Amino acid sequence: NAGVTQTPKFQVLKTGQSMTLQCAQDMNHEYMSWYRQDPGMGLRLIHYSVGAGITDQGEVPNGYNVSRSTTEDFPLRLLSAAPSQTSVYFCASSPSDQGAPGGELFFGEGSRLTVL
């Protein structure tokens, strides 16, 4: 059972480039989310989804887009990367049947992004 899989693990971009961070889970979880982790700031919620076709903004959504066409996948898109988006990104899913955490979040191993 793979759990939550993120790719790539490392990426270096130049300012203005675009890219997509991939996230897939094989646990049939309805809830999926993206966080960014920065030193001294913990994890901050970027976007989340309570099911296929439904997405919503978190605490820091600017500069990021998401879509949820299937239950399994929740890609995060950076349309025009900026140095402020240098961070470690985590995808997480939850089995909560309320469609939101109230239960355990299962995390991927993270994707480290550097924007030059």
Partner 1 sequence: AQSVTQPDIHITVSEGASLELRCNYSYGATPYLFWYVQSPGQGLQLLLKYFSGDTLVQGIKGFEAEFKRSQSSFNLRKPSVHWSDAAEYFCAADSWGKLQFGAGTQVVVTP
Would you tell me which residues interact with partner 1 (CB under 8 A)? 4, 33, 35, 40-45, 48, 50, 58-59, 90, 92, 98-105, 107-110
Single out the residue of 85, 72, 82 nearest to residue 22, CA to CA. Answer: 72
Which C-beta is closer to partner 1: that of 63 or that of 101?
A: 101
Q: How far is the CB of 105 from partner 1 (least distance, A)?
A: 7
Which C-beta is closer to partner 1: that of 17 or that of 88?
A: 88
CB burial of residue 23 (10 Å; 0-12, 13-18, 19+): buried
Q: How far is the CB of 26 from partner 1 (least distance, A)?
A: 15
| Pairwise CA distance, residues 50 & 38, whole Å | 25
